[in-house]
Structure 1
Amino acid sequence: MMKSLFLACLICITQLNAADIVVYGGVPCGIAASIAAAREGAKVVLIEPTRHVGGLSTSGINTAESEHMLKWTIGGFADEFYRRLGAHYQTGGPEYFFESSVAEKIYLDMLREAGVELRFGVSVDKVAKEGARITEITLTDGSRLQAQVFIDAGYEGDLMARAGVKYAVGRESKTEFGEEAAGIRFDKTPRSARTVDEIGTLLPGISAWAKDLHEGDAHRAPMNYNFRLTVAKDPKLQVPIPAPKHYDQKRYALLASWFRDQTQQKKPVKLEDIIDLYRRRNGKFEMNNKQSAIYSLGHFGGQFEWPNATYEERARIYQDHMDYTLGLLHFLATDDSVPANVQEEMKSLGLHKDEFVDNGHLPYQLYVREARRMRGEYVVTQQDVQADRRKPDSIGMSSHFIDCHHVQRVALNENEFVNEGRIWRMGHAYQIPYRALTPKAAECTNLLVPGAASYTHVAFCTLRLESVWMITGHASGIAAAFAVKNDTTVQNVSLAPLQDKLRAQKQVVDFIPGLPEKCEHLNGPPEF
């Protein structure tokens, strides 16, 4: 009896399933790809390693970030999603500011309406290929999936990497692609704070000595990650912010030193000098890393190993980021070095009781701003997003600022440091080339990569928004459906019919005469 049951379970686990298209990553990019392909009649399976779809749109980033881009470039599926949010909130048009729980409900409704099959809680383990073609993938539960076309929509490019497609991690040098903003970038203004402990060891949160790094050189790490907590100021809407599982006061020694210095100089300090709080709907505030702060939610240096880490290693890095985040909030509320008014401000906040209710009211996903980036048929560079902005194989447009958060802190001496890695440049409308979504044909012929797409680090800073990723996802879904229908490789999908279909579905593929091409963000910080 037990042997029969074991065999039955084994058969179930190793079952081989087939679909026309398999999409990896239930983030907005993958949702758009899945729905677009399913609407074309394809049988689609969407795999999401967590238990929730929506990526960061349902894990605390409650904006389309349209405040830093030209709204006319947001079309197709992305516009449809924001219009459904508008219908929910009865705003009479697209709504670019929302709640995570509402976004998740709308995504699930759209997936159900399109007939997309969802698989939760499994990750890609192995990829089998014949020549340059993926034949099947094996998931971490042992199940196997075959498809004619695969789409890697995830933040990390895990399916792409396991398929043997070349990729980059970190930042290119200035010379590799001739990019003025590339490579190591030191902030201009030193910050005063003790950088070493009593025996001269760099304090936590400081990665290196500046003398060991050189402006413009390549660097192995992407920009920092953080959690986007949803908090409330109204006590009626709050649940307590939990203490971290592992608290180490020494992690915040740099911040403690700065607080003491401010106190000695009698300079007033507020919580908003450390953490950004964005007002959202229904008493919710979105908590974010503050770029100008001496210390904030961004875990500088904690992200270095994430892109190529195993799933087990990522679980440890994830927990380290959570401990860092909750530890910082605990430090701000309780440590003697923190001014009393900042402590009281911190204590007045709580997690919002209506969000992430099955996860202790904490976001489901870490904000992985950047991880792997494919080296595909075409590599989009800084020149493509600022100057050479027209492409014959356009499948959509972006216009977001080149926005890179800091990567690390580096010590200038024992009492000064600078942050490193920040880029903030005006956005320009530019056409996203289809070639940036396709691997080189010699590497893989039935894979599309709209998430970890073929961009340099600098250019990727204009792609890494959920609103833009829905645009590349939409295009990939249609391209995959065309490849299935015509039994062709993704590289040989006919461009004109693809573009015509996207235009018919209100994707913005072309420049529109008379509309602005520069994103003038007059209220933001200066470019640097």
Structure 2
Amino acid sequence: MKLKSRITNFTLALVILGFTGCRLSNEKSKPVATADIIIYGGTSAAISAAVEAKRSGKSVIVVSPDIHLGGLSSGGLGYTDTGDKSVIGGLAREFYHRVWLHYNTSEAWNWQKKEEYGNQGQGTPAMDGENRTMWIFEPHVAEKVFEDMVAEEQIRVDRDEWLDREKGVEMKDGKIVSITTLSGKTYTGKMFLDATYEGDLMAAAGVSYHVGREGKEVYGEEWNGVQTGVLHHKHWFEADISPYVVPGDPSSGLLPRVSGEDPGERHSGDNKIQAYCFRLCMSNYPDNRIPFPKPEDYDPMNYELLARSLETGRKDWFEKFDAIPNHKTDTNNHGPLSSDNIGMNYDYPEAGYERRKEIIKEHENYQKGLLWFVANDPRIPEDIQTEMQKWGLAKDEFKDNGNWPHQIYVREARRMIGDFVMTENELLKKSPTPKPIGMGSYTMDSHNVQRYVKPDGFVQNEGDIGVSTNGPYTISYGSLVSKKEDCKNLLVPVCLSSSHIAFGSIRMEPVFMILGQSAAAAAVLAIDENTVVQDVDYNKLKDVLLAKGQILEKK
């Protein structure tokens, strides 16, 4: 018995050792990739940063949860929100120059003659021959430009790689050592950039951040917090519209997507964020359109408020069908009930991947239902419906996703609380901005945050703000880096350190490209000087940025 027991124990030990050896061997064999700079994200900022890093002589890997590169710039937002184009420099300007080169070829105009295109842009011609830039473009064109830049610089891009947000960030002495994705791949580097719209790497690294609107008292801002009664754009109900299933009867219940909660006191903070939507690429060219699909779980009651609004005589449904080349649009939200899915995204910033997928799908179904409703429901005025039936999704865009954009418009998610916080006071030039590394100029623009019932019993939207910055403003280097006690080798060019209302201007795609390049330039300097990102020599960084064509002051 003893001999048999010893043999059994010995055999068991060998088995355990064998399994342990396999486990250790497997652990050692897990793929580990190393580069000077690791960039998490596939946005326009990520690609801009990667190109800057590679051109500066550093090795770089883009770890992208996305398959398609470019974020919103290639995801339907082709009618670029630019503001003052003269302050867009560096790689951002190179991107729009490459778009201009594309549209100066005959191959670019397959559904429309070049001379037939209206050439209407935001503030300047869409095709700006004088400055050799083009600011209005089709989604697939933008994606090709990003892909060309990556290919030319031979940048490694690992796609469909999702950060393990629970245990995928290894920290040591206040620095990120490595990140690991859900597929098991590990990436080590000297510097890391979070270039996602959500700020997932930043959050997983333990960096301080905020979600929602700050109250007025936090940074002394007039346009932050709840803004009940402030109606800046046309995205509100101009007539008295009942929010109830049976008009005027509260006992019948509220219509879908109307909150029964108190909206909050003016200027108070909350945890709500501005609405998301998809920027749709539509076509009215018969050979390049497909009919609007009827979505899953279609419910016309979701759009009852639109019908009631149109019954008052509104005729602005097509106002944001902005023309892009080849008889297509970049169609954005417009009006009191439109593509913005107000109030349905509050948990998106912190949500897990599966919950985010659910939110994105719900937004897709809502927006598809809206298109179907306007094109088919008998309550839509005949003139609007007849025109709407001429439109459909562009057949030659997003072909691997049912012609639907692959990127939802994450207008705002997490925002870092970093070394310096950009607020409306810097944008309005009431307070100085230290260490500028780029410029913005677009209106401080927040879309609606909630739809509620006013004390008089009628429905209204809240949170839509549009305030001019009165010219370009500078963005501080300190807004790209965390507090030193949080992390010493991370830069965040998208979910940067900014208040809600200041982010409403900074969040434009050209600015993200600018900030991506500047962040990468700073990472390169930090490596070369063997220092942490908070201690980068700003004068050296400034010289580098100016040499690369970045604009740091309005001339």
CA separation of 1:188/1:164 partners in 2, compared to 1, >3 Å: closer, same or farther? closer
Question: 1: CA distance between counterparts of 2:148 and 2:345?
Answer: 33
- Is the aligned partner of 1:50 residue 2:89? no
Q: Which residue is 1:494 aligned to? A: 537
The residue type equivalent to 2:139 in the other structure is S
- Is the aligned partner of 1:257 residue 2:308? yes
SS for the counterpart of 1:64 is: coil
How far does residue 117 in structure 1 lie from its aligned partner after superposition?
0.6
How far does residue 283 in structure 1 lie from its aligned partner after superposition?
1.0
Alpha-carbon displacement from aligned partner over 1:77-133 (angstroms, at most 9, x marks no partner): 111111111122235401111111111111111111122110111111121101311
Paired residues of 2:169 and 2:178 also in contact (CA < 8 A): yes
How far does residue 12 in structure 1 lie from its aligned partner after superposition?
9.5
SS for the counterpart of 2:453 is: strand
Q: Which residue is 2:287 aligned to? A: 236
How far does residue 274 in structure 1 lie from its aligned partner after superposition?
6.6
5+ unaligned residues in a row in structure 1: which ranges?
513-528
The residue type equivalent to 1:81 in the other structure is F
Alpha-carbon displacement from aligned partner over 1:292-333 (angstroms, at most 9, x marks no partner): x22100000111111111111100000000010001111112
How far does residue 388 in structure 1 lie from its aligned partner after superposition?
3.8
How far does residue 13 in structure 1 lie from its aligned partner after superposition?
8.2
Q: Which structure 2 residues correspond to residues 398-417 of structure 1 after superposition, within 5 A?
A: 398-413=440-455, 415-417=457-459
Paired residues of 1:389 and 1:431 also in contact (CA < 8 A): no
Match of 1:97 among 123, 127, 136: 136
Match of 2:369 among 317, 321, 327: 327
Q: Which structure 2 residues correspond to residues 344-493 of structure 1 after superposition, within 5 A?
A: 344-388=386-430, 390-413=432-455, 415-427=457-469, 428-493=471-536
The residue type equivalent to 1:85 in the other structure is V
The residue type equivalent to 1:335 in the other structure is D
Paired residues of 2:79 and 2:330 also in contact (CA < 8 A): no
Q: Which residue is 2:317 aligned to? A: 273
Question: 2: CA distance between counterparts of 1:188 and 1:438?
Answer: 33
Q: Which residue is 1:222 aligned to? A: 273
Alpha-carbon displacement from aligned partner over 1:417-450 (angstroms, at most 9, x marks no partner): 2210111111331111111100000010000001
CA separation of 1:413/1:255 partners in 2, compared to 1, >3 Å: closer, same or farther? farther
Q: Which residue is 1:194 aligned to? A: 242
- Is the aligned partner of 1:110 residue 2:149? yes
Q: Which structure 2 residues correspond to residues 295-310 of structure 1 after superposition, within 5 A?
A: 295-310=337-352
Q: Which residue is 1:142 aligned to? A: 184
Q: Identity over aligned residues, as a percent?
A: 36
CA separation of 1:474/1:392 partners in 2, compared to 1, >3 Å: closer, same or farther? same
How far does residue 483 in structure 1 lie from its aligned partner after superposition?
1.4
Alpha-carbon displacement from aligned partner over 1:43-95 (angstroms, at most 9, x marks no partner): 111122121000011010003312xx111110111111111111222354011
- Is the aligned partner of 1:41 residue 2:57? yes
- Is the aligned partner of 1:248 residue 2:299? yes
Question: 1: CA distance between counterparts of 2:29 and 2:102?
Answer: 40
SS for the counterpart of 1:325 is: helix
Alpha-carbon displacement from aligned partner over 1:248-272 (angstroms, at most 9, x marks no partner): 222222223334x43xxxx3x54x4
Question: 2: CA distance between counterparts of 1:454 and 1:145?
Answer: 25
5+ unaligned residues in a row in structure 2: which ranges?
1-18, 105-126, 232-236
Report the structure number with the largest CA radius of gyration.
Answer: 2
The residue type equivalent to 2:480 in the other structure is L
How far does residue 344 in structure 1 lie from its aligned partner after superposition?
2.1
Question: 2: CA distance between counterparts of 1:185 and 1:350?
Answer: 36
CA separation of 1:360/1:11 partners in 2, compared to 1, >3 Å: closer, same or farther? farther
Q: Which residue is 2:80 aligned to? A: 64
Question: 2: CA distance between counterparts of 1:446 and 1:222?
Answer: 29
The residue type equivalent to 1:194 in the other structure is S
Q: Which residue is 1:289 aligned to? A: 333
- Is the aligned partner of 1:163 residue 2:214? no
Q: CA RMSD in A?
A: 2.1
Paired residues of 1:24 and 1:30 also in contact (CA < 8 A): yes
Question: 2: CA distance between counterparts of 1:442 and 1:168?
Answer: 17
How far does residue 368 in structure 1 lie from its aligned partner after superposition?
0.5
Paired residues of 1:439 and 1:447 also in contact (CA < 8 A): yes
Comparing 393-402 with 410-419, which one deviates more in the overlay? 410-419
Question: 2: CA distance between counterparts of 1:339 and 1:44?
Answer: 55
SS for the counterpart of 1:289 is: coil
How far does residue 243 in structure 1 lie from its aligned partner after superposition?
1.6
Alpha-carbon displacement from aligned partner over 1:207-229 (angstroms, at most 9, x marks no partner): 2344x521110021111100011
Question: 1: CA distance between counterparts of 2:187 and 2:350?
Answer: 23
Q: Which residue is 1:207 aligned to? A: 259
Alpha-carbon displacement from aligned partner over 1:225-250 (angstroms, at most 9, x marks no partner): 00011111121121222221221222
Question: 2: CA distance between counterparts of 1:251 and 1:418?
Answer: 16
Paired residues of 2:317 and 2:384 also in contact (CA < 8 A): no
Question: 2: CA distance between counterparts of 1:117 and 1:155?
Answer: 21
The residue type equivalent to 1:308 in the other structure is E
SS for the counterpart of 1:461 is: helix
Comparing 169-178 with 90-99, which one deviates more in the overlay? 90-99
Q: Which residue is 2:16 aligned to? A: none
How far does residue 163 in structure 1 lie from its aligned partner after superposition?
0.4
Paired residues of 2:293 and 2:368 also in contact (CA < 8 A): yes
CA separation of 1:392/1:300 partners in 2, compared to 1, >3 Å: closer, same or farther? closer
CA separation of 1:240/1:156 partners in 2, compared to 1, >3 Å: closer, same or farther? same
Alpha-carbon displacement from aligned partner over 1:162-221 (angstroms, at most 9, x marks no partner): 0000101110011111101111012457642221235343221212344x5211100211
The residue type equivalent to 1:252 in the other structure is Y
Question: 2: CA distance between counterparts of 1:12 and 1:74?
Answer: 46
Paired residues of 1:389 and 1:430 also in contact (CA < 8 A): no
- Is the aligned partner of 1:31 residue 2:82? no
- Is the aligned partner of 1:175 residue 2:175? no
Match of 1:122 among 161, 169, 177: 161
Question: 2: CA distance between counterparts of 1:341 and 1:510?
Answer: 48
The residue type equivalent to 1:106 in the other structure is V
Q: Which residue is 2:384 aligned to? A: 342
Question: 1: CA distance between counterparts of 2:240 and 2:536?
Answer: 56
CA separation of 1:480/1:435 partners in 2, compared to 1, >3 Å: closer, same or farther? same
The residue type equivalent to 2:53 in the other structure is A
